Amino acid sequence: MDPWLQRLVNIIWRGSFERNLPLPDTTVLSTDCLVSLMRQVVEEAVTAGPCVIVGRGAPYFLRDRADTFCVFLYASRERRFRRILQRTGDEREAVALVDTTDEERRKFIKHHFGHEWPNRHFFHAMLNTALGDDLTVETILNLLNAVNQSEAAGKS
């Protein structure tokens, strides 16, 4: 893959930014433009109806909406390494990604939203994915169901 395109894919995949990315037309593919596009897509998805949005700054874009439920998922370094290694097949790349992704996300959120990452105030729950994928999803659904029941009881 073209190194420039690979770097762009990494920006999107990691949820980070790279200030020195040489672009042919920075008004077309600047990080600020991509963030604006992500905001538009997230807001359109939410307007269309119930949906699940993974990352992409959604808790920050949607922070003023009362009809959202935000969950922060995290894992140990070892679990994250194994998951990335499974995806990339390259041990050195997996180590590099594990060691840099959180810092890049922190900088990205600070730069584009003016908040610390993770800002616990934007999340209804924080879950360790060591539970496993199925139990993590089940836990989120149970929490969401409890919130919906609580809101319904408060309206009656």
> For position 9, what pLDDT does the model report?
66
pLDDT of residue 138: 97
Predicted confidence (pLDDT) per residue in 52-79, tens digit: 888 878 899 898 998 899 999 999 999 9
* Cα dihedral value 130, 75, 97, 122, nearest 10: 140
- Helices (H), ranges, 2-90: 3-14, 26-29, 31-48, 58-61, 77-88
Tokens of 43: 């807001």
All residue ranges of the chain with pLDDT < 70 are: 1-29
Q: What is the pLDDT of residue 26?
A: 44
pLDDT at 137: 95
Rg of the chain over all Cα atoms, to the nearest angstrom: 17
Q: What is the pLDDT of residues 113-128, one digit of tens each?
A: 999 998 899 999 999 9
Give the pLDDT score at 29.
59
Residues constituting the chain: 156
Q: How many CA atoms lie within 13 A of 137 on its CB side?
A: 4
Domain annotation for the chain: domains and CATH numbers: 3-155 (3.40.50.300)
Q: What is the pLDDT of residue 2?
A: 47
